[in-house]
Amino acid sequence: MAHDARIAPSILSADMAHLARDLERISGADLIHIDVMDGHFTGNLTFGAGIVAACKRSTDVPLDVHMMVTNPDETIDWYLDAGADIVTVHAEASTHLHRTVMHIKDSGAQAGVVLNPATPVSVVEDILPELDMVLIMSVNPGFGGQSFIEGTYAKLERLNSLCDASGYHPSIEVDGGISSKNIERVAALGADTFVAGSAVFGADDPAAEIELLRSLAQSAMRSGAAR
């Protein structure tokens, strides 16, 4: 299944003292990526459900909530109730992954599974038919501004081979170190959704950067599909 390129700026790189302003600056984005960290699964502590609710009040852009927590089953409803449109959970943190995914979908949101850099794509093989998204971490989770892990390219190839073999093609999101320097190669390998934090919020014109990233990715996706 063909997907359009989507750019999902991460508010981890936004100015939290001026969140509404920064959301307005990226109003042309396709998704708003919200990293929820509990200080246990990662070494960082970030956003609670209140921030998700605040974003929901401040923008019409769909909210892509990435749950980096040790107890997703106990806390997911907080974020669903706050207005999450997509919820992704880490395979490494979910005891009953199928049940968690189905709960998200039954609640009316899209559901995805996240794989850390050292987690093989085979983990999602048996649940692929239920997924709206697979999120590949191209950095180790926890902090913004990290460098892209080069092994992600081969991992994307393996994931696409798995999708082709199964006949199921959820959206493929990549998170970590995405910029205009590498987005074309990532897109050519099958990704269609791109989390960009510092690349967008660190730009002089975040709106123009979003347009550039989307254009580069879309062009590479077309070229990849044509081969």
Which H or E element spans position 178? Answer: none
Query: Distances in Å between the alpha carbon of 191 and those of 14, 125, 212?
Result: 24, 17, 16
Question: Using CA atoms, how far apart are residues 67 and 62, in angstroms rounded to an integer?
Answer: 16
Q: What angle do CA 117, 75, 28 make, to 5 degrees?
A: 65
Active site residues: 35, 175
Neighbour order of strands in the sheet with 6-9: 6-9, 193-196, 171-175, 133-137, 110-115, 86-90, 63-68, 32-37
- Alpha-helical runs (H) found in the chain: 19-25, 49-58, 72-82, 97-106, 152-166, 183-188, 198-201, 206-226
Q: Is the distance from CB of 81 to CB of 49 less than 8 angstroms?
A: yes
Overall size of the chain counted in residues: 227
Give buried/exposed letters for 111-148 (b at 16+ CB in 10 A, else e): bbbbbbeebebeebeebbebbbbbbbbbbebbebebeb
